[in-house]
Structure 1
Amino acid sequence: MVTLPQQRRILDHPILGRLPDNQGCTIVVDGKPLPARPGEPILAALLAAGIKTTHTTERFSQPRGLFCGIGLCSDCLVTVNGQPEVPSCITPVEDGMCIETSRSTR
């Protein structure tokens, strides 16, 4: 079982109910293991871990991350298992995913 960082997660939602403690998996983000929940959007796992920026703009090096949350704006694009330009806000987490952001490369 993977221990999840709970400080940035809603543990007891008024509509969705209580977050179960036993569902966890591991994803690798920029070479570092990160706990997540299977099926949650990649961006939710990143935000729960305190990662707000998925890439920076080429022209002005401005940070980008969550904007529309429905996969239309391209602000949260990451590389997943070698596939570039994956919208992290709508792509569900799977155990063992390798995710690369461009936060530190530009």
Structure 2
Amino acid sequence: MEKNNRVVHHPILGELKIKGLVNFTFNDQVFSGLEGETIAAALLASGVRTLRCQEETGTPRGIYCNIGHCYECRVQVDGRTGVRACLTPIRNGMNVHSGEKLPTPFKKEGDTL
């Protein structure tokens, strides 16, 4: 984990106080991050850029605003869907899954894209 890949100042969460390492899983792969770091920041520092897929097209999505406004970083955390990875601190043993391509809530049967 290189320091130049870490988000050490977050406009909403403030300064990252470097403590110990925390292990968590993302899509069944084990990652380590700094205690107090967000899911998005820990994954970004580990080289992960895609956090989910867009509901209609399946195109990859990752961190966009990194302050909780855009919802592009939605993931599933410990079975809870729609969690914003940019605002959620990692915890030891946390189980994170990317948002896979889901049916759009706006499309009706017979509609085309």
TM-score (norm 2): 0.72
Cα separation, 1, equivalents of 2:37 and 2:45: 11
In angstroms, what is the RMSD of aligned CA positions?
A: 2.3
Query: Would you say the 8 A contact 1:35–1:45 is kept in 2?
Result: yes
**Which string of whole-angstrom CA distances, capped at 9 and with x for unpartnered residues, describes residues 15-44 of structure 1?**
x7xx85x62110111111101111111100
Alignment of 1:1-106 (within 5 A): 5-6=1-2, 9=5, 23-102=20-99, 105-106=100-101
Query: Would you say the 8 A contact 1:77–1:85 is kept in 2?
Result: yes
Structure 1 alignment gaps of length 5 or more: none
Runs of 4+, deviation exceeding 6 Å: none
Cα separation, 1, equivalents of 2:55 and 2:88: 23
TM-score (norm 1): 0.77
Calculate percent identity across the aligned residue pairs. 31
Cα separation, 1, equivalents of 2:47 and 2:3: 10
Structure 2 alignment gaps of length 5 or more: 10-14, 102-113
How many matched pairs?
Answer: 94
